[in-house]
Homo-oligomer: A and B are copies of this chain.
Amino acid sequence: MKDVADRAGVSQMTVSSILNGQGSYRDATKRAVMAAIEELGYTPNLAAKRLASAADNRIGVLLLTPATPYMLAVVTAAVEASGNLAAQLQIERWTSLTDAFLAVRKLLAAGTRGVIVPPPLSASTQLLDMIAASGAIPVSIAPGGAPPAAHSCVWIDDEAATAEMTSWLVGMGHRRIAFITGDPEHASTGFRLEGYRRAMEAAGIDPSDQLVVQGDYKWKSGLEAAEMLLGQADRPTAIFAGNDDMAAAVLSFAHGKGISVPDELSVVGFDDTVLATAVWPKITTVKQPVEQMVQLGAEILLKELQSGRKSPKIVHRQLDFTIMARESAAPPR
């Protein structure tokens, strides 16, 4: 950076300001600096930046293992976000709910000042409270439908999302639409189911045509639900699985059964994880903007950490979901 400053004929501080888009400077100065950067092939040293910036920039993320595709998306997003924000990221793994609390303790002991809490932990008021009580700041990611009042949160409206997807299916002409619920322990489960019900009702579809099978977000439960739903004579024309893992399982089952998707059966999911596009046909699903959610969560954390406030300002940010129309859904025959 010093070399750049010398070459551009300015001070190091000016280079820093320009690089960070702060303060004011003349256009000519900026051009000179940019040119020098180009010529020298300069690239900032992230470690120095992290060190020189506010001291309180250690954030952590809780990683459920064995990792689901969704969790891996969260972690990758956290890595990118910490790069963008010059934060120090610490990843702590957990497996059972008991060691989730242990993992939090480790994180805190390691100096983490803010923690990104993805589902299903993000809906645990108890865990969020514990983090806050210890003096660190939690930010809840996608806690389902209703953000925790006492803590910051980034979320999408799960209920509206399943409602919209269901209506979309109805609009295509489907009436016998089945729904596979998620893990009852997850807060999102109830909201997603509710959205489905609401849309079905709004479409004036006979409740007896509403086929709801309980799942738990895992592949196996999707398989079992598919067996139940597709084994009977009067099959649904569409199956809405509460997440992509279960949708993928339904897809596979249908294949083996010789039921063509989407010709004879539409299958849709939720989340838009890697699975949705790894599988064939690609799954039509609700995209949760995980990267953006985590990035925003990290920003909230860092801003709060650097504000020096005694008690954190609670911020709730709701983001938009998107229906990703792909190949697994079509009008019924």
A residues apposed to B, CB below 8 Å: 41, 43, 45-48, 50-51, 55, 57, 63, 66-69, 72, 75-76, 79-80, 83, 88-91, 109-111, 218-220, 223, 227, 245, 248-249, 251-259, 274, 277-280
The answer to whether A47 and B43 touch across the interface, beta carbons within 8 angstroms, is no
* Chain B hits for A51, CB < 8 A: 45, 47-48, 51
Q: How far is the CB of A24 from chain B (nearest CB, A)?
A: 28
Majority SS at the chain A contact face:
helix
The answer to whether A46 and B88 touch across the interface, beta carbons within 8 angstroms, is yes
The answer to whether B110 and A43 touch across the interface, beta carbons within 8 angstroms, is yes
The answer to whether A252 and B245 touch across the interface, beta carbons within 8 angstroms, is no
Q: How far is the CB of A62 from chain B (nearest CB, A)?
A: 14
**Copy number in this complex?**
2
Q: How far is the CB of A181 from chain B (nearest CB, A)?
A: 18
* Chain B hits for A43, CB < 8 A: 109-111
* Chain B hits for A257, CB < 8 A: 256-257
Alpha-carbon separation in the docked complex, A75 to B67 (Å): 13
Alpha-carbon separation in the docked complex, A212 to B46 (Å): 50
The answer to whether A280 and B223 touch across the interface, beta carbons within 8 angstroms, is yes
24 contacts between A and B (CB under 8 A): A41-B109, A43-B111, A45-B55, A45-B111, A47-B50, A48-B51, A50-B50, A69-B278, A72-B76, A72-B274, A75-B76, A76-B91, A79-B91, A80-B91, A83-B90, A83-B91, A220-B280, A223-B280, A249-B279, A251-B252, A252-B252, A252-B256, A256-B256, A257-B257
* Chain B hits for A89, CB < 8 A: 79
